[in-house]
Chains A and B, each alone.
Chain A
Amino acid sequence: MTLSIPSIHYLAILPVLILFGGAVVLLGVTALVRGALRTSIATGITLLAAVAAFVSAFFQWADLDAHGPSTTIAHAIVLDGFSVVASAVVAVSLAMATLVAHDWFHREGVRGAEYHILALATAAGAVLMTQANDFIVIFLGLETLSIGLYVLVAFDRRRATSSEAALKYFLLGGFASALFIYGAALIYGATGSTNLTTVSYFLGANVVLRPGLLYAGGALVLVGFAFKVAAVPFHQWSPDVYEGAPTPVTGYMAAIVKVGAFAALVRVLVSALGSQLTTWRPLLWGLVALTTLVGAALAIVQRNAKRMLAYSSINHAGFILLGVWAASARGSAAALFYLATYAPVVVATFAVVTIVGGPGDERHTIDSYRGLARRQPWLGAALGVLLLSQLGAPLTSGFFAKYAVLAAAVDGGGGPLALVALLGAAIAAFFYLRWTIVLYADSPEGATSVPVPRATAIAIGAGVALTLVFGVWPGPLAALAQHATVLFTS
């Protein structure tokens, strides 16, 4: 019996190799040095890996230009524009979040490289999800991403809320993964393959006479993803986890989970189950409407900045789902554009929240922000810009992101749904503006300035710069997202 090894296109899996390799190197280094590894070395290696992964995206893009999209490792991994741009977004989020975490470590007196190792591994999982062309590979990416994040959420051992949040996240995340993989098993039974391309071919060439298995499988997969991206009504875990997790982790998690999960969701729904459009679209319609409206409405009543941002991120998930709902090349490009603009903004927003939270990571009420812009004009203005970008104000990238998904939805025949989403955005505008007004209110007596460490300042600056540059001049990124179409069939 011969064992045939599938051919491997190493360039296609280079970002995963770099990120995971970085984690392994870091693990080796920590084992070799005496005592705890200095944080700056761990940060340096992590940043190096993130930059290398980002640079490798350029080589992948050049390869795409020359040869077009391709699949490798027995068609389980795909290299297309979509995956390249999404991996680059993951790399940028990782780099920014690492800078924020670096200062957090110094402030809280935490030592060691565990955080960085796990961050690198989770980033590798997210990149793997963006490239996965097989249900099993999606599952592996999802679990690499999630298992690392469970530990990262529990990282702050002094606060009881941190481990509580981790337990909640673990139980619901594990449940979501089980639903997803059960759905994948049923789809495998209905179509005879776990490969997305094969599933797509099968469904395109055959009429499924008894589609019960397929529908049940598709629904379970959808619910699994809905849990992961915190779409209403599967969102209950998210505010608690966002609040309990160490703040730099919250920002990182908000960014890369969304990128990974949505990239995989687009592939599953639009590419593999594209022929079943009429079946899953109504379900997604309900999810989008609920997620945008409930996310925004519940954000208004929150007094805790982290919980408020959690509900805000639920609202954003609704908008990205809207791009998926459009089920077109345009819709996928819009969802990708939304992710690319949202990820740096949310990491930078949580960077500001990290600084304001102060030692112990405790001061997170909205009142801690009162007069922030009067005391520290730069920090206040940066947070103002980031909030306005999440609101979708013109001259920020958030505006074009919202416009792109709405236009794609209207294009796909979803006028009423786009209106519902707009209503959600209008409700959300209320609490973003309220927060911004609090920033510029009179500073209360005895309020002190918070120190702004250098690395965090760089991360915040990068987030603000990205949102303003792409807000004024969205052409390049939009064009990139347009070209970064999903490989529908191969």
Chain B
Amino acid sequence: MNVPAAWYLVLAAVLFGIGTFGLLTRRSALIMFMCLELLLNAVNLTFVTFARTLRDIGGQAAVFFVMVVAAAEVTVGLGIVVTVFRRRSSTSVDELSEMKG
């Protein structure tokens, strides 16, 4: 069975949509992280699909860069969450309200 490329693109768009929705509505920093990862993986799927349809290796190479960046990002992000957590014992972003104006 041959799945048309468009379906992969739609799947990627849906994943990106879910990630965006989660990032904007959820209040736990960790869930927001997971949504960020979902966004980047949707991008990867898009790159791979296009690389396949265009018969171009460039898109597949791009995926490696995105994966490396995603890994680096999550390392730093978790470090920041830990520093916040040490102070507040909570990862809810609703409590991050020291600054206003």
Tell me the A residues contacting B by CB distance below 8 Å: 136, 139-140, 143, 147, 150-151, 154, 157, 160-161, 163-168, 170-171, 174-175, 177-179, 181-182, 185-186, 188-189, 192-194, 239-240, 243-244, 301-304, 307
Contacts and interface: CB of A to CB of B under 8 A. Distances in A.
Given A140-B69, A160-B87, A163-B83, 8 more contacts: A154-B80, A154-B83, A161-B98, A170-B77, A171-B93, A185-B50, A302-B101, A303-B101
Size range of the interface on B?
A: 35 or more
A210 to B, nearest CB: 12
A304 B98 CA distance: 13
A124 to B, nearest CB: 14
A143 B72 contact: yes
A480 to B, nearest CB: 33
Nearest to A146: B73
A164 B50 CA distance: 38
Contacts of B16: 178, 182
B3 interface: no
A143 B76 CA distance: 12
B11 interface: no
Contacts of B61: 136
A243 B97 CA distance: 12
A170 B35 CA distance: 13
Contacts, number: 119
Lowest 8 A-B CB distances belong to which pairs?
A178-B39, A189-B50, A185-B46, A163-B83, A164-B96, A174-B36, A143-B69, A240-B99
Contacts of A160: 87-88, 98
Nearest to B88: A160
B40 A178 contact: yes
B11 to A, nearest CB: 14
27 contacts: A139-B69, A140-B69, A147-B73, A147-B76, A154-B83, A163-B84, A164-B99, A167-B29, A167-B80, A167-B84, A167-B93, A170-B73, A170-B80, A171-B77, A174-B36, A175-B20, A175-B39, A178-B16, A178-B40, A178-B43, A181-B40, A185-B59, A188-B62, A189-B9, A239-B101, A301-B101, A302-B101
Interface string B54-85: 10101101100110010011001101110110
Contacts of A307: 101
Nearest to A166: B80
A170 B49 CA distance: 29
B12 to A, nearest CB: 8
B83 A170 contact: no
B64 to A, nearest CB: 10
A147 B42 CA distance: 21
A164 B65 contact: no
A182 B39 contact: yes
B65 A139 contact: yes
A430 B101 CA distance: 19
A189 B45 CA distance: 12
A167 B96 contact: yes
A161 B29 contact: no
Contacts of B87: 160, 163
A171 B77 CA distance: 8
B99 A161 contact: yes
A181 B66 contact: yes
Nearest to B58: A194
Contact of B65 (A136, A147, A168, A303): A136
Contacts of B32: 171
Given A151-B79, A167-B84, A192-B56, A143 B73 contact: yes
A479 to B, nearest CB: 38
A157 B82 CA distance: 12
A189 B36 contact: no
A431 to B, nearest CB: 14
B99 A165 contact: yes
Contact of B43 (A143, A185, A193): A185
Nearest to B19: A178
A189 B54 contact: yes
Contacts of B9: 189
Contact of A192 (B39, B54, B76, B88): B54
A147 B76 CA distance: 7
Contact of A163 (B20, B46, B80): B80
B10 to A, nearest CB: 13
Contacts of B47: 185, 188
A150 B80 contact: yes
B18 to A, nearest CB: 13
A175 B23 contact: yes
Given A136-B65, A139-B69, A182-B39, A157 B83 contact: yes
Nearest to A189: B50
Contacts of B99: 161, 164-165, 239-240, 243-244
Nearest to B40: A178
A167 B39 contact: no
Contacts of A240: 99
